[in-house]
Chain A
């Protein structure tokens, strides 16, 4: 899932580091791992495509996807909700 979300947006070596130690990267800002506004748009699209989560763009807060942990929780939470 981490590969699917970040592949092509973040340097592969950083993706591997995230996979090895998610806890260490939870609070890291996306901008600090190379995600700019153009790649953020792609990231938001991937979250929707991978998890079928639909953002409410009329009330969207960019802080809701500002860290690695928030993005992963969003995808993971949606997937768990689908299982329930």
Chain B
């Protein structure tokens, strides 16, 4: 029995389990604590990856014996898992690459040094003691250690900047305490407009062997929570190449050789600007089901192979060509309010909508749901196919998404 450890969440478990077994591996799903989003239908273990990595490696060996690979789709754990993998001789990337793509300060500096096209950096700060009036507005301000676009905001003046900096530092000292990133600070950068895209890439031996490009529309702020991602059938080869060339440059610069990356970028006046990248699959792996359904190709198998040294060393398969046949979407539902959830459901209108395939509730009754935008939290994800009659009009797409928001019913 060849065991592999997989860190993800309940939305991807079934897909990862199936893919792992098809490759001949027995997956053990691992979560950092018992309050994580656990799919109890599959065998799982709790391992606190925030402990000393050497100790965790010894614990893993004691509990499971020989392990053939560790796959992490969880942003906050990626670096720690990389450290543990090193102790187990299962490391697939230089340790520096995990840090570079977790810390926006390091990421930004890396891209600037390597001439990767990215929004202009206006400052990186670890203290709130800055001159808020010294910037030409609007600017984007964001936490140095983030995820799910938490805390990212466009601000138009010094007062807004000061307020958002305060919100980010509050996020840092509370939500990032476990990751020991309380003094990680914030980044101020140029606001880049234009259509936004995400690119999920699987890397093996420094080569991109699978890509999934999602269109995100043109989010205008002021906050930028993850919202709509969809596979755009009509995307031109020219746009794809523009996107992929800069993404490859950015990820290569960070030193990534294997595993999955998730990169976000905008195209402004025909030029791509990398916003950020992460060394893990997008949406904890959930976007890969979209790629598989839209192309018919085995994305999850490639994802898993890219973290297993023996698969990497023997890799001879073809690169997956990303040619989506449907406009499939993943949508993070917007919500108002915050507090302990009393009721949570989807209306019959939504449940019976023929374009909607799955609704994932990321919270349940009794869970705490924070104010949207300033921290890491999702209420619900909806996966489906965008109706053909709305594809040519941005306003129609927006109305469709508002309909989804209105039909996820929450009470606090």
A contact set with B: CB distance below 8 Å: 7-11, 34, 36-42, 44-45, 55, 57-58, 60, 62
With the chains together, A8 CA to B339 CA distance in Å?
4
A57 CB contact (under 8 Å) in B169, B177, B366, B376? B169
B340 CB contact (under 8 Å) in A8, A37, A44, A58? A8
Asked if B177 and A62 make an inter-chain contact with CB atoms under 8 angstroms apart, the answer reads yes
Kindly report which residue of chain A lies nearest to residue B127, judged by CB atoms: A58
Asked if A38 and B182 make an inter-chain contact with CB atoms under 8 angstroms apart, the answer reads no
> Which of A9, A36, A38, A62 has the most B CB atoms < 10 Å from its CB?
A38
Kindly report which residue of chain A lies nearest to residue B174, judged by CB atoms: A41
For the complex, is B173 an interface residue (Cβ under 8 Å from A)?
Answer: yes
Kindly report which residue of chain B lies nearest to residue A42, judged by CB atoms: B370
A8-B338, A42-B368 as given contacts; A58 in contact with B174, CB under 8 Å: no
For the complex, is B87 an interface residue (Cβ under 8 Å from A)?
Answer: no
For the complex, is B336 an interface residue (Cβ under 8 Å from A)?
Answer: no
Asked if A45 and B340 make an inter-chain contact with CB atoms under 8 angstroms apart, the answer reads no
With the chains together, A11 CA to B368 CA distance in Å?
10
Nearest CB in chain A: distance from B381 CB, A: 18
Asked if B339 and A41 make an inter-chain contact with CB atoms under 8 angstroms apart, the answer reads no
For the complex, is B377 an interface residue (Cβ under 8 Å from A)?
Answer: yes
With the chains together, A82 CA to B237 CA distance in Å?
65
A8-B412, A57-B170 as given contacts; A42 in contact with B338, CB under 8 Å: yes
Asked if A39 and B370 make an inter-chain contact with CB atoms under 8 angstroms apart, the answer reads yes
With the chains together, A9 CA to B174 CA distance in Å?
15
Say whether chain B's binding surface is mostly helix, strand, loop, or mixed.
loop
B371 CB contact (under 8 Å) in A11, A42, A57, A60? A42
Asked if B338 and A40 make an inter-chain contact with CB atoms under 8 angstroms apart, the answer reads no
Asked if A7 and B339 make an inter-chain contact with CB atoms under 8 angstroms apart, the answer reads yes
Asked if B175 and A37 make an inter-chain contact with CB atoms under 8 angstroms apart, the answer reads yes
Kindly report which residue of chain A lies nearest to residue B177, judged by CB atoms: A62
For the complex, is B156 an interface residue (Cβ under 8 Å from A)?
Answer: no
Asked if A37 and B368 make an inter-chain contact with CB atoms under 8 angstroms apart, the answer reads no
Say whether chain A's binding surface is mostly helix, strand, loop, or mixed.
helix
With the chains together, A39 CA to B339 CA distance in Å?
9
Asked if B338 and A41 make an inter-chain contact with CB atoms under 8 angstroms apart, the answer reads no
Kindly report which residue of chain B lies nearest to residue A40, judged by CB atoms: B174
Report B-chain residues with C-beta under 8 Å of the C-beta of A41.
170-171, 174-175, 370, 374-375
For the complex, is B172 an interface residue (Cβ under 8 Å from A)?
Answer: yes
Asked if B368 and A36 make an inter-chain contact with CB atoms under 8 angstroms apart, the answer reads yes
B contact set with A: CB distance below 8 Å: 35, 127-129, 166, 169-178, 182, 338-340, 366, 368, 370-371, 374-377, 412
With the chains together, A62 CA to B174 CA distance in Å?
7
Report A-chain residues with C-beta under 8 Å of the C-beta of B178.
37
Asked if B368 and A60 make an inter-chain contact with CB atoms under 8 angstroms apart, the answer reads no
Asked if B170 and A37 make an inter-chain contact with CB atoms under 8 angstroms apart, the answer reads no
With the chains together, A69 CA to B377 CA distance in Å?
28
Report A-chain residues with C-beta under 8 Å of the C-beta of B170.
41, 44-45, 55, 57
Asked if A62 and B338 make an inter-chain contact with CB atoms under 8 angstroms apart, the answer reads no
B376 CB contact (under 8 Å) in A38, A60, A62? A38
Kindly report which residue of chain A lies nearest to residue B341, judged by CB atoms: A8
Report B-chain residues with C-beta under 8 Å of the C-beta of A62.
173-174, 177, 182
With the chains together, A62 CA to B368 CA distance in Å?
20
18 extra interface residue pairs, beta carbon distance < 8 Å, beyond A57-B166, A60-B182: A8-B338, A8-B340, A9-B339, A11-B366, A34-B368, A37-B175, A37-B178, A38-B375, A38-B376, A39-B370, A41-B170, A41-B374, A57-B128, A58-B127, A58-B129, A60-B173, A62-B177, A62-B182
With the chains together, A11 CA to B340 CA distance in Å?
8
With the chains together, A44 CA to B366 CA distance in Å?
21
A-B pairs with lowest CB-CB distance, top 6: A8-B339, A57-B169, A41-B174, A60-B173, A39-B368, A40-B174
With the chains together, A34 CA to B128 CA distance in Å?
30
Nearest CB in chain B: distance from A41 CB, A: 4
With the chains together, A34 CA to B366 CA distance in Å?
10
Nearest CB in chain B: distance from A1 CB, A: 17
Asked if A38 and B169 make an inter-chain contact with CB atoms under 8 angstroms apart, the answer reads no
Nearest CB in chain B: distance from A38 CB, A: 5
